[in-house]
Amino acid sequence: MSSEMDGAQVYLVTGGCGFIGEKITELLSQQDYIKEVRVFDSVARKEVENFATATTHVTVMKGDIRDYNLLLAAMQGVHVVIHTAAIVDYRNTLPFWEMKAVNVGGTENVLRACCALNIPYVVYTSSIAAVGPNILHEPMLRGNEDTKYSGEVELPYGKTKAMAERLVLEANGKKLSNGGKLTTCIIRANTVYGEKAVFLHDLYLSAKAHHGVLNYLEPEHTERNSTYVGNVAWMHVLAARHLQLKPDTLAGQVYYSYDDTPTTKGFLVRYQLLSCTDPSIRLGSRIPYWKMWLLIHLHRIIEVILSPFWKPRPFLNFPLLHTIVTTFSYETDKAFRHFGYKPLYSWQESKVRTARWLEVAVGNLSSQ
């Protein structure tokens, strides 16, 4: 093990061209104990290979996580897998079976390949959506990793993440053919913002279309956590490292991602991010629940009537509306206690970095 720890390690990041995955790849490429970072992604973007440094090579491989043989080939000679590949679909634009095939079936493939190739370490990127809100929309207020919260998850995406989490935890401690054992842990992301966060881009355009006014859906007292993408990625890097150094502590554990982004009101965080980019953005008022309820129903009716001729843009749905208006927050320092995690970027820096990206992204649009 020790020789491998001294700069000869090969990491594989599934979904390493995605929003969180790309940031993980970037940070891994800066670690001197890693010889190569392999990226396995269905949307293979070659520019991710530019993260390579003098000591760390970055290779992007194109492949679908549902294709076991392709995955097996990509995983040859790998020491650690960070599995982020998933379909993140809050708006139900895709059929459930397809999301499940990637999120659950893909996770099954990763674990199976680890056993076949004797790869002992897996860090899985999950989501707070795997926990809830449930179909009764019960809130969770400032819970932590040990908070008992039960009931069926309402959001279809959350259902698939909960199923995948179960597979990852069941695989922990599994015997490998070389006599070793599989060691897994899970990181639950929440509302993640930062460079390339599509929802911020959409939100900005929507605010601009409403004369620079940013309205919101959640009641003022609703609490939800937000974390900067760089800090979520850093937590993965540290967890993967310490899964090897302190397997007895991290094996089979779940960690919520966190940093010093203000947690109380999600709409205020969004407002601060957008107004940092464009000071003309103003905070509007809350859109009442009944109005959204009516709009969703109306949209469904229109969709049914027009479906033979035209497919309208995906609109808000009830599971997503309930996710937005239900308090679901946590407070924890478990990642710090278990593997010394401290945020790499302050709230101030996270805000500025996000605003800088958004300015360019929006600028490119307006110049077109």
Number of H helices, E strands in the chain: 14, 13
Catalytic residue among 124, 157, 216, 345: 157
The Cα–Cα gap between 121 and 62 comes to: 22
The Cα–Cα gap between 285 and 269 comes to: 15
The Cα–Cα gap between 224 and 326 comes to: 9
Give long-range contacts, CB 8 A cutoff, 24+ apart: 315-322: 315/91, 316/91, 316/292, 317/91, 317/92, 319/92, 319/154, 319/155, 319/156, 320/90, 320/91, 320/92, 320/155, 321/217, 321/289, 321/292, 321/293, 321/296, 322/133, 322/137, 322/154
Contact predicate 344/234, CB 8 Å: yes
Tokens describing residue 37? 């970072």
Q: Annotated catalytic, 157?
A: yes
Looking at the annotation, which residues are catalytic?
A: 157
